[in-house]
Amino acid sequence: MSIVLDAVKTNLPLNAKQTPSGWLTVNCPCCIHYGQSRPDTRHRGGFMFTPEEGVIYHCFNCNYKAGWKPADRFTDRFKKLLKYLGVPKSDIQRLQLETMREADLAQPVKEEIPEYKINWPETNLPSGAKPLDQWEFNPLFNKALEYISYRGLIDLADWYYSSAIPGQMQHRIILPYKYKSKIVGFTARWVGEKQHKYPKYYQQQPKDFVFNLDAQKNNRKYVLVTEGPFDALAIDGVAIGGSNINYQQAQIINQLGKEVIFVPDQDKAGIDVVRQAVYYNWPVSFPPWDDVKDCADAVNKFGRPFTLKSILDFVETNKTKIKVRSQLWK
């Protein structure tokens, strides 16, 4: 028998009665301390002793409730219950110290999650793709430059272009996905004059890929997480490459050791990815950009300093508020 259980049973009133349901009823010692004008004389207090040598107390008159189980610390209500039962103060202090020691010993050891090892194989860009500065100017090429300029992504060294080769890769600007100077994937956006049968975006990347990791400086306090790579480039953040955050991506981002802030696209598709960010306990930013949907457009319209300030000024950490605010995008 535990020392706590022994102290309770030793100090029970002499007229305790056992009920068929398992309760041990007593005249409640707490009633006169909790709003009752006279002591209980009808056995309204009840003790239940659990198989793991814990104890539960409930008075059906003054509604006093308290309990304890092994490996738990004493609550204030349980200490008062012991006092009302007549357990000496010195014994209560001794029991409390002993249960604190047992609770500390019983604390589960936190299992360290091993560092996620990145293993992204090197890959090639689509056949026929060349850096922008190697192309001759033509109407379609000019359209590619216009798009890059509009999105505020003016560093041409980062971009490739595929020519009018028939097929899925024709008329696309290509952003290589690099990690430690190696190309490990890419995204290719259609910039032709007429929409063809292929998707506007074509993406090839490892399942666990996080874009722009190399740009995250060690002295930064935050890492800003976006859905798309163009948005990440605009604010120097990282991107998950779509509207789904898998566990491996979350682990890679958390391993950066920085405060994570998720900045979703403010549209209907962003609702689901916000739920995932909440699952990983990431704060979410809701900048009041009105008709602007994403970070790249915000930088183009307001400039980078204002965009970054508004992201940091409108961070929400309350999970309920995050879910409610994202529902406004429906």
Give the per-residue pLDDT at 166. 62
Can you tell me the distance from the alpha carbon of 27 to that of 12, in angstroms, rounded to the nearest whole number? 10
- pLDDT at residue 240, rounded to an integer: 93
Read off the pLDDT of residues 252-262 as tens digits, 9 standing for 90 and up.
999 999 999 99
Q: Which pLDDT score is estimated for 292?
A: 87
Q: Which residues contact 226 (CB under 8 A, 6 or more apart)?
A: 232, 235, 237, 238, 239, 240, 263, 264, 265, 294, 295
The DSSP symbol for 271 reads H
Q: Tell me: domain 208-330, CATH 3.10.150.10, correct?
A: no
- Separation between Cα atoms, residue 145 and residue 66, nearest integer Å: 71
Q: What is the pLDDT of residue 58?
A: 92
Q: Enter the pTM of the model.
A: 0.63
**Given this model, what pLDDT does residue 310 score?**
95
Domain with CATH 3.40.1360.10 in the chain: 208-330
pLDDT of residue 9: 92
Sheet holding 201-204, edge to edge: 129-131, 160-162, 172-179, 182-190, 201-204
Quote the tokens at residue 215: 């740009």
Residues of the chain with pLDDT under 50: none
Which tens digits make up the pLDDT trace of 162-214? 775 666 777 788 889 999 989 999 998 887 766 667 788 888 999 899 999 99
What does the alpha-carbon distance between residue 313 and residue 285 come to, in Å, rounded to a whole number?
A: 8
Q: What pLDDT score was predicted for residue 20?
A: 80
Q: Phi/psi class of residue 23: alpha, beta or left (left: φ > 0; alpha: ψ in -120 to 50)?
A: beta
CB distance 238 to 226 below 8 Å: yes
Name the residue with tokens 């798309």. 228
Give pLDDT, residue 156: 60
- Give 305-317 as a DSSP string: HHHHHHHHHTEE-
Asked if 156 and 148 count as a contact pair (C-beta separation under 8 A), the reply is yes
Task: Tell me the C-alpha distance between 69 and 52, whole Å.
Answer: 7
